[in-house]
A and B are shown apart, each in its own frame.
Chain A
Amino acid sequence: MGVRLFSFPVWSRYNASIMHELPVTQGILSVALETAEQHGGHRITAINLVIGDLASIVDDSVQFYFDALSEGTLAEGAKLTFKRETANALCLECGHTYTVTPPLDPFCPQCDSAFLQISGGKAFYIDSIEVDDEDTRS
């Protein structure tokens, strides 16, 4: 039985990339542009993102890709703001709750127990965009 091979070169239309921040950034750009078009096609000045601390996204990397990808679009020059959603740990032994940042410390800082429950930190969405509507011709 033969093997069917699909090759997806980098920067292909399939958005394959070395860093996953690239397709993530393409996602941000397309949602923002679509929203701006639906609201009168104004220039986008800011995009407000909510990203969880456990979502493995590097802010600088996203802004870097964004500046390149948004060139010549309504979003060119837009500033990305990152609201970080923290992850919380609950110690199942002593009840202590605290904020965690990766890499995860596997022990409760209060009682040294390893029975922890982690919640939150997985958010991954665009909260809002800001557009420049000053240039609206009436």
Chain B
Amino acid sequence: MKIPVVKQILSSNDQIAAENEKNFRENGVFALNLMAAPGAGKTTFILATIDHLPDSIRPAVIEGDLASTIDADTISQRGVPVIQINTGGGCHLDAPMIRDSLPHFALTDIDLLFVENVGNLVCPSNFNLGTALSVVVSSTAEGHDKPYKYPGIFATADVVILTKADILEVFDFDLEFFERGLKAVNPTAPLFVVSGRTGKGIDTWITWLMNRKDKYQS
């Protein structure tokens, strides 16, 4: 006997992601899921964004790594509330991990929550966390072919950030080629070219981010 199911494989994760989203909305938290390869500059980009935020915006960070608290320590030194999740070998964050870490934040005191996913361009794209915005971070140092090689994750992005713009020439990075690849798999996601180190492009990104945040909460 054949029984029709037609159900998403990760529906139990999606269900918890929906609870997370409700929790974020009720507490006025705009959450970002940052996905990138290891070393793309996620943490530097988060810090650069935090440094340039309007004073009224209160940030917090969830750091996902296989091991260590190196990234969380860096964030914590800036006086920003941070939780470190160590996946112990797991290649991505999932919705239950986020749900279980949220009670340790004072959510009503947070406007913008950065969730830094485990460095990986494959698995994180399959797991909804309940965040409002999926951000894929790619760096000039990784090369301009990333959207062609990892179409899945670029296709899920709401916005793409190209970091390390200050050293673009060093890597013979062909920005037009990168943009074409991105447009092919994701025609709608805007691209921001930034440098966390020099601050280039960060203000433009923040203007866009605040606009999205206002729309989400209205």
Contacts and interface: CB of A to CB of B under 8 A. Distances in A.
Interface of A: 1-10, 12, 14-20, 23-24, 27-28, 30-32, 35-36, 39, 42, 49, 54-56, 87, 89, 102-106, 114-118, 122, 124-133
Nearest to B5: A126
Contacts of B104: 4
Contacts of A12: 88
Interface of B: 1-13, 69, 72-73, 76, 79-92, 94, 96-97, 100-101, 104, 122-123, 125-127, 145, 147-149, 151-152, 155, 177, 180-181, 183-185, 187
Given A5-B69, A128-B4, A54 B151 contact: yes
A27 B181 CA distance: 32
Q: Which of A1, A6, A106, A116 counts the most B-chain CB atoms under 10 A from its CB?
A: A6
Contact of B89 (A10, A55, A116, A127): A10
Q: Which 8 A-B residue pairings sit nearest by Cβ, starting from the closest?
A: A16-B90, A20-B123, A116-B184, A114-B180, A3-B72, A27-B9, A9-B88, A7-B86
Contacts of B91: 17-20
Contacts of B145: 106
Given A1-B79, A14-B97, A104 B2 contact: no
A132 B3 CA distance: 11
Contacts of A125: 5-9
Given A18-B91, A106-B181, A8 B2 contact: no
